Amino acid sequence: MRRLNRKKTLSLVKELDAFPKVPDSYVETSASGGTVYQDTWMKYEYEVDKDFSSKLRINIDITVAMKCQYIGADVLDLAETMVASADGLVYEPVIFDLSPQQKEWQRMLQLIQSRLQEEHSLQDVIFKSAFKSTSTALPPREDDSSQPPDACRIRGHLYVNKVAGNFHITVGKAIPHPRGHAHLAALVNHDSYNFSHRIDHLSFGELVPGIINPLDGTEKIALDHNQMFQYFITIVPTKLHTYKISADTHQFSVTERERVINHAAGSHGVSGIFMKYDLSSLMVTVTEEHMPFWQFFVRLCGIVGGIFSTTGMLHGIGKFIVEIIYCRFRLGAYKPISSIPFEDGHTDNHLPLLENNTH
């Protein structure tokens, strides 16, 4: 993938369908609107998160390259509380390979993700561009494929306790157990294990369409039937206040790891997709701000005063140079009288005396 410069990347973010612009027919132009332009910026404030009683919402849209009857998804937190997957998750049989339009959507999303890792200031652009009437969800297929479904799309949301937990997708449906939980994996043929997956969307907190999260657009291909994919996620509660939206959401950072399960080689575990998350004790408040009018007016006066002062200095310097040139030109108009030679070879440089002849 070729590298793009910053200007082209900003243009790419603005042209993404997830951030549609207001049609020109809804925009009213005025002479005063274009006279004064005030840019905005994002202000970040940090404080201790004191909310421990509320629930944490997990928004999920993951496609696994296995049939829906072979896999199950659930959450187990540190309090050994199991969240039933039937509460908010939907299992939809789909085709794992994307259509051409969907591949273009994924390529665009991955390109923005790569630029966000290099240009962190682009996150402010995304915060300003997000609003509730748009969506970054995977677009529907535009082709009528006759291929039978070979994958399962798990999407929806769950509410969990605000403690560390583990959301996982593995073989077999989850069943409650007095000492935790278990999955009915004995009835699934081992050769059908394939945890190749695509994360179209994963976020925490209130769903804010238009916000791009770190794992959106991620695709992993399993090279072995017994393969484990792990995501270690640190969640930071975030309050977002812009001129377009106000939402309680969550940012997060993630570390990825994958390995093949081989008990003979000492690599133990269970095949599947595991997302282990933990919450930060700090809360971030992101507020969009702009320059106050009085401060803008003071700066404008300073700029105007500086222009007048600079103009006066340039005028004074120009006048001084012109006077010097003019004075030298006037002095050059008076030529000195040539010296008077004597017979002995000497010269007299004095001016001759004027004699008054009186008769």
Gap between the Cα atoms of 134 and 130, Å rounded: 8
Q: What is the mean pLDDT of the chain?
A: 76
Q: Region 59-72: what's the mean pLDDT?
A: 92
Q: What percent of the chain has pLDDT over 70?
A: 71
Q: Residue 228 pLDDT > 90, yes or no?
A: yes
Higher-confidence residue: 260 or 132?
A: 260
Q: What is the pLDDT of residue 211?
A: 78
Q: What is the pLDDT of residue 272?
A: 92
Report the Cα–Cα distance between both ends of the chain, in Å, rounded.
112
Domain boundaries, the chain: 47-290, 292-328
Q: Region 278-296: what's the mean pLDDT?
A: 81
Which residues, in sequence order, are bridge partners of residue 287? 43, 241
Q: What is the pLDDT of residue 121?
A: 60
Q: What amino acid occupies position 115?
A: R
Burial class (CB in 10 A: 0-12, 13-18, 19+), 162: middle
Residues 93-147 have pLDDT tens digits of 999 998 888 888 888 888 877 777 776 666 666 665 655 445 567 888 887 777 8
Tokens of 308: 């007048």
Residues 174-196 have pLDDT tens digits of 776 666 667 777 678 878 899 99
User: How would residue 62 be classed by pLDDT, with cut points 50, 70 and 90?
Assistant: very high
Q: Region 196-213: what's the mean pLDDT?
A: 86
Cα-Cα-Cα-Cα dihedral sign, residues 8, 5, 40, 298: negative
82-91, 155-164, 273-282: lowest mean pLDDT where?
A: 82-91
Residues 311-358 have pLDDT tens digits of 888 888 888 888 888 787 776 655 555 555 555 555 555 544 444 554
Is residue 88 within 8 A of residue 158, CB to CB? The reply is: yes
CA distances for 260 relative to 191, 218, 239, 271, angstroms? 15, 19, 39, 8
